[in-house]
Chains A and B, each alone.
Chain A
Amino acid sequence: MLHTVNKSPLDRNTLESCIQHALKGSAVLLIEDGVYGAMQGTQKSPMVESAMKAVSFYVIGPDLKARGIDASRVIDGIDIIDYSGFVDLVAKYDKTQSWL
């Protein structure tokens, strides 16, 4: 399963809830305001770093750039992808669940 999250984890519990329901081997893609969840050194970074042991994390590069988040500030191990990478993920996983 591919999970997408589009809300800031510092504003809503969307990412937290997604992580609690993401099974081992699934993927989480951070989009729109969800990309703040990919930042190092925030109150929510430890939650994401811990979840990465079982779940693959991806983040949309153009959404990071729009918000002034340099790639160097993204948590190590999160894959920065573009929109064609988004399409590839949707095709790779059998289902997509959007956490709104």
Chain B
Amino acid sequence: MSKRFLYVNRKAPYGTIYALESLEVVLIGAAFEQDVSLAFLDDGVFQLTRGQQTDELGVKNFSPTYKALGDYDVNKIYVERESLEARGLSLDDLLPLTYEDEDDDWAEKDSIKLVSAAELAEIMQAQDVVLSF
């Protein structure tokens, strides 16, 4: 029986290893056909910003990998509105993440859902397993 898994992302990318580790665990976990959701709040919203270029740092730019999540049936990506606003960001600053909906003639749909902190609290409560990064 599949369980509901939520991955909670609260750290900026590159400064620590949390963001990359979370992404790798999500991709590994996706192979087990569970009901997976991702939440991005606090500095975690910085993981999804467009235009990341890491060549001068000599580290891998892993932000394009988020675009592959839709192909792994990971298409419930919750971004907290309050966290974006506190950082002067809007949805337009984030990567366009989409998936093809097999129940709707493979129509391309947005994976990112902007939610309030209160809504995210309910989403957290509804999970079987919450993994925090």
| Chain A residues proximal to chain B, CB less than 8 Å | 6-8, 10-11, 32-33, 36, 39-43, 45, 61-63, 65-70, 73
Contacts and interface: CB of A to CB of B under 8 A. Distances in A.
A73 to B, nearest CB: 8
Interface string B49-61: 1111110110101
B52 A67 contact: yes
Contact of B54 (A7, A10, A40, A66): A66
Contact of B86 (A32, A43, A67): A43
A69 B15 CA distance: 14
A70 B51 contact: yes
Interface in B41-74: 42-43, 46, 49-54, 56-57, 59, 61, 63
Interface string B93-110: 100000000000000000
Contacts of B53: 65-66, 68
Contact of A8 (B12, B61, B63): B12
B15 A68 contact: no
Contacts of B12: 8, 11, 33, 36, 67
A62 B46 CA distance: 16
Given A10-B42, A68-B52, 9 more contacts: A7-B15, A32-B15, A39-B87, A42-B86, A42-B87, A65-B52, A65-B53, A66-B56, A68-B51
A10 B82 CA distance: 12
13 contacts: A33-B12, A40-B88, A41-B88, A42-B88, A43-B86, A43-B87, A45-B88, A65-B54, A66-B61, A68-B52, A68-B63, A69-B49, A73-B88
Interface of B: 11-16, 42-43, 46, 49-54, 56-57, 59, 61, 63, 86-88, 93
A45 B15 CA distance: 20
A69 B52 CA distance: 8
A11 B61 contact: no
A34 to B, nearest CB: 8
